Structure 1
Amino acid sequence: MRHTLPIAPQFYVTAPQPCPYLEGQMERKLFTALQGDHAGAMNDSLSKQGFRRSQNVLYRPSCAECSACLSARIRVADFSPRRSMRRILKRNAALRREATSPWATEAQFDLFRRYLDSRHADGGMADMDVFEFAAMVEETPVRSRVVEYTAPSESDPGRRELAAVCLTDVLDDGLSLVYSFFEPTRASDSLGTYMILDHIELARSVNLPYVYLGYWVPGSPKMDYKARFNALEVYFKGEWRDMRNPDDFTGATHPLAVQPIAEQVARIRFPETMPSTVRVPPGRNRP
């Protein structure tokens, strides 16, 4: 008879590298492996504490001299779309949503490559090949879905074409948008915003209270769009707070404003079924 021994989570820290959001800052991440029988519970619990999933890793920014990156989520029950967002919904009324198992397809990868080449040609994912893309989609130890959006073909209205895709985790308290991309020739349709709006409706239909958007970074133009959603909360100083005024959450950049790694790990709350002892081995260059 085989027995599975409980393994305490081990946390690592990546080596510093240039921040992709704030010029002149260095990025560092705290991360742990997401595996085993407790993977789903870990994803649920740590997502509520500002962590994000990337394949089989959970990570959270842990920069030595900056704490600007704040996890953001929308309260579904309190959200109401602005007039501009209602126009986006109307503009994309012909789109059709289909949620499937996390399985990568050639059509998804072709769309992904067009999206990167058009909008993020110098980004960290620019060199991702089809095998790495498949790993991003399929290597998930938790409950994930690929949400595809199709539109009528302009050349053949009877045929539908892939217009946008979102890799989404289903948490115990919400939907987490892991990564999304869309047809770059439809940039004027605001498909990124549309997918968030549609996920809010999807969460509402299954009684999930939150939609997790990833990190909002005050001072980063790339992240400004997240602040346009009302009923937004950010994980700030160990708790979720309403973001009524973005200026209230400017990133601290003084070294003494950042907790040491050991203190950060000591404050992490784990599922009751998880071992309580954690380790912080020396840094590694992941994820």
Structure 2
Amino acid sequence: MTAQFRFPRFFVTTPSPCPYLPGRTERKVFTELAGPHAAELNDALGRIGFRRSQGVAYRPSCFDCSACVSVRVVADAFRPNASQRKLMRRHDDLTISACKPWTTEEQFALLRRYLAARHPGGGMADMDEQDFADMVEQTPVNTYVVEYREPGGRLVGACLSDQQADGLSMIYSFFEPDDDTRPGLGTYIILDHIVRAARAGLPYVYLGYWVKGSARMQYKVRFKPIERLGPAGWQRFDPDAAPAPLTAPTPAS
């Protein structure tokens, strides 16, 4: 018998400075997503904490750190809080379209404004049009660019998203960064994906990695119920809960 697809070969990157925790290094394990069963492989790896970037699936594999934790929102159980409901009403005039993964000059211009305002020194700051096209268009799986437009047609947000067997995986989102009339667009884009997943009968929205104590990651755990991937698999957790106190062992009788 012939296996559906061969077991993938995994590789490890050389250590480099961690972008989230100062003074630490990061290392990733990765494999290529290629061939007729790339989507099935991506689904399987996504369930164990891998993320996709172009034709590669990767996850952290650091020597002495496990701070990066995969998180996903339980879409059908999600109930927006008061501020999230207000935000959804604030932006309910936007026209939302799931487009094929082809880049446009308009998308790239929005990305450049977003990066300059929010991540001026980040790893994507020097991205050019070809880099952007590679990020969006080099995909072996079912991928969309979800666009968010005002009634007049102006593009104010976009998100590169994969549709997996068990949910939507938000690869990268960007939006108009300094528009006082459109506050909270990043949060709204996540809320919209949760609604879309629930309507499609998809149980989860994958948000990538969360690092406790990293201010730039805190937005990911504002959507509840949320699950994290640990040694025992995916489990719900409350990021705001205090850790359980240590209890002394019961003396033997």
TM-score (ref. length: structure 2): 0.91
Superposition deviation, residue 205 in structure 1:
1.3
Q: What's 2:247 paired with?
A: none
Superposition deviation, residue 245 in structure 1:
3.7
Matched, 1:46 2:45: yes
Superposition deviation, residue 8 in structure 1:
3.2
Please give the residue correspondences for 1:76-225 in structure 2 after superposition, counting only pairs within 5 Å. 76-152=75-151, 159-186=152-179, 189-225=183-219
Cα 1:216–1:147 change in 2 (3 A) is same
Superposition deviation, residue 13 in structure 1:
0.7
Q: CA RMSD in A?
A: 1.8
Give the whole-Å Cα distance in 2 for the aligned partners of 1:45 and 1:70.
17
Give the whole-Å Cα distance in 2 for the aligned partners of 1:128 and 1:220.
24
Q: What's 1:275 paired with?
A: none
Say if 2:5 and 2:37, in contact at 8 Å, map to a contact too. no
Cα 1:248–1:61 change in 2 (3 A) is farther
Say if 1:49 and 1:238, in contact at 8 Å, map to a contact too. no
Give the whole-Å Cα distance in 2 for the aligned partners of 1:68 and 1:248.
17
Say if 1:218 and 1:246, in contact at 8 Å, map to a contact too. no
Number of aligned positions between the proteins: 241
Unaligned 5+ segments in structure 2 are 244-253
Question: Which of structure 1's runs of 4+ aligned residues deviate more than 6 A?
Answer: none
Superposition deviation, residue 148 in structure 1:
0.2
Q: What's 1:65 paired with?
A: 64
Query: CA deviation digits over 1:182-205, x for unaligned, max 9?
Result: 011236611111001001111111
Unaligned 5+ segments in structure 1 are 153-158, 250-287
209, 228, 233: which is aligned to 2:222?
Answer: 228
Report percent identity of matched pairs: 52
Please give the residue correspondences for 1:13-32 in structure 2 after superposition, counting only pairs within 5 Å. 13-32=12-31
Query: CA deviation digits over 1:202-237, x for unaligned, max 9?
Result: 111111111111111111101111111111001112
Higher relative contact order (CA 8 A, sep 6+): 1
Query: CA deviation digits over 1:228-269, x for unaligned, max 9?
Result: 1111001112510111245678xxxxxxxxxxxxxxxxxxxx
SS at match of 1:58: strand
Give the whole-Å Cα distance in 2 for the aligned partners of 1:178 and 1:52.
8
Query: CA deviation digits over 1:163-193, x for unaligned, max 9?
Result: 0000000000000000000011236611111
Cα 1:248–1:174 change in 2 (3 A) is farther
Q: What's 1:12 paired with?
A: 11
